[in-house]
Amino acid sequence: MELFWAPRTRSFYALWALEETGLPHEKIPIDIWSGQQDGADYRAINPMDKVPALRDEGVVVTEAPAICAYLADKAPDSGLAPPLEDPRRGAYYRWLFFAAGCIEAAYFEKMSGLEVDPRRAGWGSFEQVFETLAGELESREWIATERFTMADLMVAGGLKYGMMLGLLEPRPVFDAYVARCTERPAYRRAEEINEAALAEQG
């Protein structure tokens, strides 16, 4: 299995997911600052010219939440996804896709200063997205089930990104949830890998 990645990018989700599963893999750095992602070799892997991408015996998966879901299913004993027939799979899918479809778009709305009609925008509005998440997390330790899953990895990773960029107002419920997720050893290992790659880049 190969991960095509660049440090301090959305590749971090995939890096963290690989550390959670412990699946053996090779990391292939893509220098997105020099435009390596635009070359024919990488474009054959991801015509979107974006990292991360995962290649597993010829199977290519792009899009961070899809990579997370794929990896969780590749490591069923990790408990990072409810089993296929488990009714909790519904909530798991719901929040995994919420991260991709709503959190990402809400940040774009905020960063671009867009005025959106919440009835037309698929994510509603920035406020709706984060009020919804805060409401869910008030009563639960983890977003989808009674344990950490890949949905938490994507949601907490998304919240952490918004906090780092100052897009989110401080909220104790988000702080506590993100702390719970990021104190996991797999998160710490992924962060070390990220930092080491950045240091190497100079």
Ligand X SMILES: N[C@@H](CCC(=O)N[C@@H](CS)C(=O)NCC(=O)O)C(=O)O
Using CB under 6 A as the criterion, which residues of the chain lie in contact with ligand X when the complex forms? 9-10, 32, 37, 49-52, 63-64
How many other C-beta atoms are found inside a 10 Å radius of the C-beta of residue 124? 19
We find the least distance from the C-beta atom of residue 45 to ligand X, in angstroms, to be 12
Contact 36, 42 (CB under 8 A): yes
We find the least distance from the C-beta atom of residue 172 to ligand X, in angstroms, to be 28
Nearer to ligand X, 66 or 173 (CB): 66
Distance from C-alpha of 14 to C-alpha of 174, rounded to nearest angstrom:
22
Nearer to ligand X, 33 or 146 (CB): 33
We find the least distance from the C-beta atom of residue 9 to ligand X, in angstroms, to be 4
Q: Hey, what are 59's tokens?
A: 């199977």
What phi and psi values does residue 5 have, to the nearest 5 degrees?
A: -155, 170
- With 0-12 / 13-18 / 19 or more C-beta atoms within 10 angstroms meaning exposed / middle / buried, residue 157 is buried
Single out the residue of 54, 53, 4 nearest to residue 30, CA to CA: 4
Residue type for 179, please? A
Give the SS3 label for residue 54: strand
Nearer to ligand X, 49 or 73 (CB): 49
Nearer to ligand X, 47 or 87 (CB): 47
Single out the residue of 104, 197, 92 nearest to residue 151, CA to CA: 92
Name the region of 113 (left: φ>0; alpha: ψ -120 to 50; beta: rest).
left
Nearer to ligand X, 27 or 171 (CB): 27
We find the least distance from the C-beta atom of residue 198 to ligand X, in angstroms, to be 14
We find the least distance from the C-beta atom of residue 64 to ligand X, in angstroms, to be 4
We find the least distance from the C-beta atom of residue 86 to ligand X, in angstroms, to be 25
Nearer to ligand X, 82 or 158 (CB): 158
